[in-house]
Amino acid sequence: MLVPHFVKHVIRLALEEDIGTCDLTTEFVVSERQKSAALIISKGTFILAGLPFVIEVFRLVDQRTEFSIFLNDGSMVKKGDIIAKVSGLTGTLLSCERVALNILQRLSGIATLTYEYVQKVKDLKVKIVDTRKTTPCLRFMEKYAVRAGGGSNHRSGLYDGILIKNNHIKAAGGITVAIHAAKKVHHLAKIEVEVENLNDLREALRSGADVVMLDNMSVEDMREAVKVAKGMAIIEASGNITIERVRDIAETGVDLISVGALTHSAPAADISMMIVE
């Protein structure tokens, strides 16, 4: 996967944050020309995600660093599995270790939690999607991890999708006013509107919404909302989506279920790196 320039910039900042002016320990303990190999090893069971970014971490410090990848992103990893082998200057391996593992552990955790949600509804015609509740500056990587776990991406940011939320509706003066104003933007742009009850849903549909987000509605109201929409708009469920509730919500017939927890509450996977020669 091609890593975008701005993601490389974020990784550079992460390296600068950790290394600073120099890696004091490595500089005094390891010979400048010494070479080694290290294994990246799983210490648990999870869905792997983040290898392109890990490679970038090491190569931003030394382009000559070599990799042997044994497991691909999206695969199920078990305790003790060797994920990859990294070879190069010992100093590079040691200085990059923590940033590389932080990224891999974070993204693998997101992929794993996403996988768990997706498995709950795998036999139903519904997509599990992420939100903008991501770590600042890590959104590209975290949304990549969602895909690795079998989920789908919602809009990337404010620039690539129209989503009229409650505060927009209040500021504009109502659902209908907000939708009509948004329709002037571009004839190809889909318009999504957040609603909290069935009356607001009906107004959004009458006003020409393409997608309607049901915010924190009960399962019973979601089921009724799907009947009311009758294919007039894509229906998205959002708010308080837990692993325990996701199946019941999916069975209402909604098209999308957006889950903020995928990126804001996923526990990190347990991964280590060990010098072997």
Which candidate in 98, 132, 147, 155 is catalytic? 98
**Catalytic residue flag (residue 170):** no
DSSP 196: S
Which candidate in 133, 183, 223, 245 is catalytic? 133
Which candidate in 73, 130, 192, 194 is catalytic? 194
Tokens of 107: 């993204």
**Catalytic residue flag (residue 194):** yes
Reported for 185-194, long-range contacts at CB under 8 A and 24+ positions apart, including other chains, are: 189/161, 189/162, 190/161, 190/162, 191/162, 191/164, 192/161, 192/162, 192/163, 192/164, 192/236, 193/163, 193/164, 193/169, 194/163, 194/164, 194/165, 194/166, 194/169, 194/238
**Catalytic residue flag (residue 230):** no
Dist. CA 175–CA 198, nearest whole Å: 13
**Catalytic residue flag (residue 133):** yes
Dist. CA 245–CA 156, nearest whole Å: 25
Which candidate in 132, 155, 165, 223 is catalytic? 165
**Catalytic residue flag (residue 165):** yes
- 245-256: b or e for each residue (b if 16 or more CB lie within 10 Å)? ebeebbebbbbb
Query: Collapsing DSSP states into helix, strand and coil, what is residue 52?
Result: helix
Active site residues: 98, 133, 165, 194, 215
